[in-house]
A and B are shown apart, each in its own frame.
Chain A
Amino acid sequence: MSVTENFKPTIVAFCCNWCSYAGADLSGTNRLQYPANVKIIRIPCSCRLNPMFVLRAFQKGADGVILCGCHPGDCHYTTGNYYARRRMTLLFSLLDFMGIERGRTRVEWVSAAEGAKFAATMNEFTETIMKLGPNRRLEDLRCRKD
């Protein structure tokens, strides 16, 4: 897929309240740069991420969706991220099965102390999406901006 000129990807990052959201905060206070087109949505736990949220994000114009949660073993609710891990694995695999580009979906475990990792992940993910170009396979034409 060719890179569209002037393409500014919209990236939705679902961040767990306890680790990754704080991680994002830390990367901000440390003045680490990550692209402004990453839109963070705070969720109580990575396990809260309903597969429907992922699809709805794509519908409403996201070009990539990333879930950030506590590292396995560190979940505030003990086990939430373990369930999320299975769910997202299966969901991403199904999306891949349906021909939706694998690179558009990702899970990354980011702790509250990993501000640098958060920024790096977002930079890297944005780059991947830049290469993939606009989401065309899982978009709602009615929401297209141009």
Chain B
Amino acid sequence: MKRIAVENLQSLFAAVSAKKQLYIPADDSAGQAKFTLWSEGTVLTEKLNTVRSAKDLFFPQVENLVNFKVSSKKIEILENRDSSEPFVVFGVRACDCRSFDILDTVFLSDPVDTYYQSRRENGLVITLACNRPAETCFCGVFGIDASDPAGDVTCWMDKAYLYWRANTERGQELTKSLSVLEDCDESSVDAIREASKQILQKLPLNDLDLTDFRENKLLDVFNDSAWGELSESCLGCGTCTFVCPTCQCYDVQDFDNGREVRRFRCWDSCMYSDFTMMAHGTNRPTQKERFRQRFMHKLVYYPNNNNGVFGCVGCGRCLQKCPIHMNIVKVTKKLKEGMV
């Protein structure tokens, strides 16, 4: 284990940044945290977490796929992949770190999505244990220990020091190259972890229990009468899906600038009315079906295909950001009322 004094954090960032692009959560102009490319003067946020999750760095909201040049009857295919350079992302919370596992099962399963893959290979993840979780946090429900997150490197912070533990070979390699870090004892973080655990135990949403979703039949959950009531005030916006670290649906679109056609993909949301729209109509005509799709996917469909692992990591972003405050916790609790 290594450490560095908190007042020297900037020199650590500078050292990492000298090797690879470094992203850290920093406050934006609205005072909310956002993963920001570090440069001299970028300061680590004091906020618990970023509004947009760390998935942005691996699965950006918009990315170029390929270009086409069309001339009369001929088409030329031109490489137009956004370049992906090696980068380090610092300050990823335990929940977001787990979300990478979920995104991996989608994007890295056959056929592999090479855009995501190259970012995953290029990205080194440094997690930061949570000292002050929010009331909306419920990562513990998914077996995530916010006091000891995964990642290539795990960090802990108290008032005096940032502690640093490399978990993977890549993490060790980076550690070796950082002379600003000094050695320290493994037990240095025990107190931080203990304090963090004390708080984690007290979180109001700890009692959320999802086991019923594993045991109930897909169609029974799907046909539950509560969906109508749950979705009645849903605005059909995409906030929940866009701030969610595990939402990965995308759209592929073409942009024609008159000289060439750029094919790009962008995030899409199952909450949008045109998500499944075809020439002859849509199979999810009302917000109820769209709303249900999102939660069924996280609570039933995804676990069915992935050994019971839920498609949620308990980061609490949708709890904080939904304009009408409908969220996976409320949905889960309501549905459970109807379950046997």
Contact = CB atoms under 8 A, between A and B. Distances in A.
Answer whether A and B touch in the complex at a CB cut-off of 8 Å.
Answer: yes
A142 B255 contact: yes
B257 interface: yes
B258 A142 contact: no
Q: Closest 6 CB pairs between A and B?
A: A143-B257, A142-B257, A142-B255, A142-B262, A60-B258, A143-B258
Interface string B239-263: 0000000000000000101110010
Contacts of A145: 259
Contacts of B262: 142
Interface string B255-293: 101110010000000000000000000000000000000
Contacts of A142: 255, 257, 262
A140 B262 CA distance: 13
A145 B257 CA distance: 9
A142 B62 CA distance: 13
Interface string A106-140: 00000000000000000000000000000000001
Given A142-B262, A143-B257, A145-B259, 4 more contacts: A60-B257, A60-B258, A142-B255, A142-B257
A143 B262 CA distance: 11
Interface string B32-55: 000000000000000000000000
- For this complex, into which size category does the number of interface residues on chain B fall? under 10
A145 B262 CA distance: 14
B55 to A, nearest CB: 24
Nearest to A144: B257
Nearest to B264: A142
A60 B258 CA distance: 9
A143 B255 CA distance: 10
B70 to A, nearest CB: 16
Nearest to A145: B259
A90 B91 CA distance: 45
A60 B255 CA distance: 12
Contacts of B257: 60, 140, 142-143
Interface in B101-140: none
Q: Which among B255, B257, B262 has the greatest number of chain A C-beta atoms within 10 A?
A: B257
A145 B260 CA distance: 11
Interface string A17-29: 0000000000000
A143 B257 CA distance: 5
Nearest to A141: B257
A99 to B, nearest CB: 15
Nearest to A60: B258
Contacts of A140: 257
A111 B255 CA distance: 38
Contacts of B258: 60, 143
Interface in B203-260: 255, 257-259
Interface string A39-68: 000000000000000000000100000000
A94 B232 CA distance: 36
Contacts of A60: 257-258
A140 B257 CA distance: 9
Nearest to B64: A142
A59 to B, nearest CB: 9
A143 B259 CA distance: 8
Nearest to A142: B257
Contacts of B259: 145
B57 to A, nearest CB: 22
B63 to A, nearest CB: 13
Nearest to B259: A145
Nearest to B262: A142
9 contacts: A60-B257, A60-B258, A140-B257, A142-B255, A142-B257, A142-B262, A143-B257, A143-B258, A145-B259
A142 B80 CA distance: 12
A33 to B, nearest CB: 28
